[in-house]
């Protein structure tokens, strides 16, 4: 069947056997963190193969019943066909999410851009949208850094989104998001356009060979947290700012009361940004070899959210659009994610 050709049975089984052979080595557990990574890969592959095998058996069983011509099972087959179709649709996206980090956690950063207070309010609206989407998708959320706006909204926020395929789904949201509306902060109630940059990074493991961080390359500052959080936050110097001297990348974290936890979270973000930088360098080298033109500016919007003079959300990469703006802002962004993944 064409259906099963989209799943690489041979490749998955081969990878599983190779990983299982590694676990048989006497020194396998000499590096516990690496060993745990291998065991997780084995577990994921076994689950994937088990899910597809079970579905294949189910489909074959119902095909046999249908071929028998027994009409008493007609209603059951019809109902199960709908369930199988829904399950296949979900599995199709798991195949599209085949990048090395797609199955892992994501670091979602939202940064207000041009537009002043309107942009900071728009950043908070987007944060709410993603929080609602993540909750509906049963992901675990942790806000690891947040900077409030002076009048309203937020200047920036970084959120750790934990769960299977969190990065795979959220990486489709990376880019500039544009809002057009009648400004609630303009006394004349004029139409304003605001921009927010969404950055999505994978949670890169500390032992990942692609990203190596030397302690000598880090400049670490400790300072008192600002903003909401109570007297304890203000009294204790728990906030962390880390500068990666070779690249100039600066990350900060102040949301936790523990200095150790803030440092750990800041390093997570730093590893993600260094990974993104290396990936970008590789893509630029490939583009140069291919003779492709690469834009160097901040970036044009990937999606527009228009509240006035009409209501519409449109993704400029896929042309996917909807007039139900409120539903999108309430977290209904799966159609946009799916359209982008299918296009890619």
**Domain of 38: which CATH number?**
1.20.58.410
Tell me which of 68, 96, 124 is where a domain ends.
Answer: 96
pLDDT the model gives residue 64: 80
Asked whether 210 and 275 are in contact (CB, 8 A), the reply is yes
304 is a domain residue: no
Please indicate, yes or no, whether residues 91 and 167 belong to a single structural domain of this protein.
Answer: no
Tell me which of 77, 96, 115 is where a domain ends.
Answer: 96
Domain total for the chain?
3
Please indicate, yes or no, whether residues 67 and 190 belong to a single structural domain of this protein.
Answer: no
Token pair in block for residue 248: 């100039």
80 is a domain residue: yes
**Domain of 221: which CATH number?**
3.30.160.20
pLDDT the model gives residue 114: 76
39 is a domain residue: yes
300 is a domain residue: no
* pTM of the shown model: 0.74
Write out pLDDT tens, residues 150-183: 889 999 999 999 998 999 999 999 999 999 999 9
Please indicate, yes or no, whether residues 92 and 112 belong to a single structural domain of this protein.
Answer: no
22 is a domain residue: yes
Residues 6+ apart with CB under 8 A from 143: 157, 158, 159, 160, 255
N-to-C CA span, the chain: 24
Please indicate, yes or no, whether residues 220 and 176 belong to a single structural domain of this protein.
Answer: no
Tell me which of 69, 96, 123 is where a domain ends.
Answer: 96
295 is a domain residue: no
pLDDT the model gives residue 175: 92
Please indicate, yes or no, whether residues 196 and 248 belong to a single structural domain of this protein.
Answer: no
Asked whether 313 and 307 are in contact (CB, 8 A), the reply is no
Asked whether 317 and 340 are in contact (CB, 8 A), the reply is yes
pLDDT the model gives residue 236: 66
36 is a domain residue: yes
pLDDT the model gives residue 334: 93
Please indicate, yes or no, whether residues 187 and 250 belong to a single structural domain of this protein.
Answer: no
Please indicate, yes or no, whether residues 198 and 319 belong to a single structural domain of this protein.
Answer: yes
* Range(s) of the domain holding residue 64: 2-96
Please indicate, yes or no, whether residues 144 and 192 belong to a single structural domain of this protein.
Answer: yes
Please indicate, yes or no, whether residues 79 and 110 belong to a single structural domain of this protein.
Answer: no
Write out pLDDT tens, residues 292-333: 444 433 457 899 999 988 999 999 999 999 999 999 999 999
pLDDT the model gives residue 290: 53
The ranges of the chain with pLDDT < 50 are 1-2, 228-234, 292-298
What DSSP state is assigned to residue 173?
G
Sign of the Cα torsion 124, 126, 129, 132 reads negative
Please indicate, yes or no, whether residues 317 and 262 belong to a single structural domain of this protein.
Answer: no
Average pLDDT, the chain: 84
Please indicate, yes or no, whether residues 68 and 120 belong to a single structural domain of this protein.
Answer: no
Token pair in block for residue 53: 């095998």
What DSSP state is assigned to residue 31?
S
270 is a domain residue: yes
């Amino acid at each position: 069947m064409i259906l099963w050709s989209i799943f690489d049975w041979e490749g998955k089984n081969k990878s599983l056997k190779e990983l299982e052979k590694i676990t048989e080595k006497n020194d396998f557990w000499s590096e516990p963190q690496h060993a745990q990574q291998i065991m997780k890969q084995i577990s994921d592959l076994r689950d994937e193969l088990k899910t597809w095998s079970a579905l294949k058996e189910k489909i074959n069983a119902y095909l046999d019943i249908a071929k028998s011509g027994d009409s008493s099972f007609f209603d059951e087959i019809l109902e199960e066909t709908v369930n199988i179709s829904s399950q296949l649709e979900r599995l199709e996206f798991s195949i599209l999410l085949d990048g090395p980090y797609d199955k892992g956690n994501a670091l979602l950063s939202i940064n207000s851009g041009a537009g002043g207070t309107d942009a900071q309010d728009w950043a908070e609206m987007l944060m709410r949208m993603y929080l609602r989407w993540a909750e509906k998708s049963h992901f675990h959320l942790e806000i690891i850094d947040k900077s409030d706006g002076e009048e309203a909204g937020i200047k920036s926020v970084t959120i750790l989104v934990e769960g299977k395929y969190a990065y795979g789904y959220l990486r489709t949201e990376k880019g500039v998001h544009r809002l057009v509306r009648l400004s609630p902060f303009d006394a004349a109630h004029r139409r304003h356009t605001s921009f927010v940059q969404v950055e999505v990074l994978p949670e890169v493991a500390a032992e990942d060979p692609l990203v190596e961080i030397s302690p000598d390359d880090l400049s670490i500052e400790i300072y008192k947290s600002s903003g909401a959080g109570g007297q304890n936050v203000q009294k204790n110097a728990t906030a962390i700012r880390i500068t990666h001297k070779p690249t100039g990348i600066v990350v900060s974290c102040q949301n936790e009361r523990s200095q150790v936890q803030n440092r750990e979270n800041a390093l997570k973000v730093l590893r993600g940004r260094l990974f993104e930088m290396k990936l970008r360098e590789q893509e630029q080298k490939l583009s140069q070899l291919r003779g492709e033109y690469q834009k160097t500016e901040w970036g044009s919007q990937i999606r527009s959210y228009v509240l006035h003079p009409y209501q519409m959300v449109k993704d400029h990469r896929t042309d996917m659009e909807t007039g139900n703006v409120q539903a999108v802002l309430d977290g209904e962004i799966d159609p946009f994610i799916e359209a982008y993944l299918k296009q890619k």
